[in-house]
Chains A and B, each alone.
Chain A
Amino acid sequence: MSSGPCRKAGLGWSNWKKKPELRRAGETSVENGLPKWAVIALLIINKAGGLIYNRTFGEGLNQLNSNDYLVLAGTFHGVHAITARLNPLREHQAAHFYAQQQQQQYSASGSLGGASSSGGGGGGGGGQGGPLPSRPEPPSGLEVMETENFRLQCFNTQTGTKFLLFTDTMQANVDVAMRKVYELYADYVMKNPFYQLEMPVRCDMFDRKLNSYIREINNSR
């Protein structure tokens, strides 16, 4: 049985040339004094598609001028809306929902002994005791985008504000970071009495807290 590990080791040796290369490729960016940042940038887009916050935490993305960032935010806003519309299952979900609703109407009218089911038109027929047909969940737009060099996580709040977090491709737990960023936004931007809604975010406290939080993430790697 000892031949198994030996053979594996032999395979390892035959692959010997490739592995260090790969490892070195991962390490060079740190050795060059350019630390490989986990969280690269944060963009906040308001519900109209305007860019209200833009901050870069590390290298990894091309630096664009402010106009390009505005264009990018608008483009992303549009693409996000389209991706929400492009749900391949919408027909089936709608048909399913419709069938469910109809079935319930029939059963309701049957149990009431031929009572008119005119109330059934208004989305579930009100509180008749039976379980309401489950409405398909509203389509969400783009949530995660992956490319060869980076990863983009998008969080769309209930009010339509979008948080875009650019991370490197290996970053884990982006959801946690995103929630924390949203929390900071709620605490230090929305609770700032001088902040006007939908306007660019200029809040010192938010900047400072965000910086320290992101630095913490990036250093912990």
Chain B
Amino acid sequence: MPVQVFSFYIFDRHSHRVHLLQALDRPLHHHAPLSTSHTSSDHLLTSPPTSSSATLHPHRASAPAGSLPTSSSSTNNGISGGGAYRDSRSAATRAKDDAKLIFGTVFSLRNMVRKLGGDDDAFISYRTAQYKLHYYETPSSLRFAMLTEPGALSMRNVLHQIYINLWVEYGEFISVYLGREFLRERVCSIEDDKKKTRNGSDFRGPSPLSKTPLSPVEHKNGDGVRNEMFEMGLDKFVRGLM
């Protein structure tokens, strides 16, 4: 049974959005080819943190909103302007705000459900007249949220499959790998700073990369998964549902 999937979010335990896939349905979108909105979301997800505070404190969970450039993508919003029915925000800002709102909603509902139904209870889905949100949370507090058409059946197993077959299979492995790369860049820049302060003494300490954390790699500053295989697999999977 085909299901219209509107969008799909993954949040890590620090509430940072890890992945966003927007796959709108065909009839409402016919002037543009059906595609994941990488043009706008990649901009958000894969922008490297350039501020020096982020480089100096790689382990601090800084707020994702602060360091993201948003103004650059506001110009290529095709349907801007146009009267009272237009949202004045740019598409990128809107996507970011939506992600925050979805996380907030899901988080409060989850807490509410736990309070009412006991600690073993889990929030599964909610439905409005326009859409239905399916939710799945892993034991490590990785949160999956999928927005579909309101008539969709329970997608819990689908989210579970995405976790098992895609996230664990590609995502985790390669994000650990990429996380290392990412760390290496940061470490190098820190060490460069150190070198500068030491007036060129050729110091290279033991690489902290050997201490790669076993816990899931953090995705700071709204940094995306940045994993082609995962994204392709997810794209294919979600497309298969529709």
Chain B residues near A147 (CB-CB < 8 A): 113, 117, 121-124
**B184 at interface (Cβ–Cβ under 8 A)?**
no
Cβ of B126 and Cβ of A64 under 8 Å apart? no
Q: Which residues 158-213 of B have a CB within 8 angstroms of A?
A: none
B83, A140: Cβ atoms closer than 8 Å: no
Interface string of B127-169 (1 = CB under 8 A from A): 1111101000000000000010000001000000000000000
Determine whether A85 belongs to the interface, using a CB cutoff of 8 Å to chain B.
yes
Contact A150 B117 (CB under 8 A): yes
Q: Which of A76, A78, A144, A148 has the most chain B CB atoms closer than 10 A to its own CB?
A: A148
Count the A-B residue pairs with Cβ separation under 8 angstroms: how many? 112
A64 and B115 in contact (CB under 8 A), knowing A82-B104, A85-B101, A148-B122? yes
Q: Which residues of B contact A149 (CB under 8 A)?
A: 117-118, 120-121
B residues near A148, Cβ cutoff 8 Å: 117, 120-122, 124
A126: interface (CB < 8 Å)? no
Report the Cα distance A87→B24, complex, angstroms.
Answer: 12
Within 8 A of B (CB), among A71-102: 72, 75-76, 78-79, 82-92, 94-98
Complex Cα distance A72/B154, Å? Answer: 25
Tell me the residues in window 60-76 of chain A with beta carbons closer than 8 Å to chain B beta carbons: 61-62, 64, 68, 72, 75-76
A94 touches B117 (CB 8 A): no
B129 touches A72 (CB 8 A): no
Q: Which residues from chain B contact A76 at a C-beta distance below 8 Å?
A: 112
Contact with B along A136-149 (1 / 0, CB 8 A): 01011111111111
| B129 and A150 within 8 A (CB) | no
Cα distance, A90 to B105, chains bound together (Å): 18
User: Are the CB atoms of A146 and B124 closer together than 8 Å?
Assistant: yes
Q: How far is the CA of A146 from the CA of B126 in the complex (A)?
A: 6
A96 to B29, CA, bound (A): 10
Pick the contact of A62: B79, B117, B128, B129 (CB < 8 A): B117
Within 8 A of B (CB), among A112-138: 137
Complex alpha-carbon distance, A192 and B85, angstroms: 42
B224 CB to nearest chain A CB (Å): 20
Q: In angstroms, how far is the closest chain A Cβ from the Cβ of B159?
A: 14
Does B98 have its Cβ within 8 Å of any Cβ on chain A? Answer: yes
CB pair A62 B115 closer than 8 Å: yes
Contacts of A140 in B (CB 8 A): 128-130
By a CB distance below 8 angstroms, the chain B residues around A89 are 6, 24, 28, 130-131
Closest to B28 in A: A92
Contact of B28 among A78, A96, A137, A141 (CB under 8 A): A96
The interface residues of chain A lying within 8 Å CB-to-CB of B127 are 142-145
How far apart are A16's CB and chain B's nearest CB, in angstroms?
25
Q: Which of B24, B98, B121, B126 has the most CB of A within 10 A?
A: B126
Residue pairs across A and B with Cβ atoms less than 8 A apart, 15 shown, are A62-B118, A83-B128, A88-B24, A88-B130, A88-B131, A88-B147, A89-B28, A92-B28, A139-B129, A140-B130, A143-B129, A145-B123, A147-B117, A148-B117, A148-B122
Q: Tell me the B residues contacting A by CB distance below 8 Å.
A: 6-7, 24, 28-29, 79, 82-83, 85-87, 98, 101-102, 104-105, 108-109, 112-113, 115-118, 120-131, 133, 147, 154
Which chain A residues have a beta carbon within 8 Å of chain B's beta carbons?
Answer: 61-62, 64, 68, 72, 75-76, 78-79, 82-92, 94-98, 137, 139-150, 166
- The 3 residue pairs across chains A and B that have the minimum distance between CB atoms: A88-B6, A140-B129, A149-B117
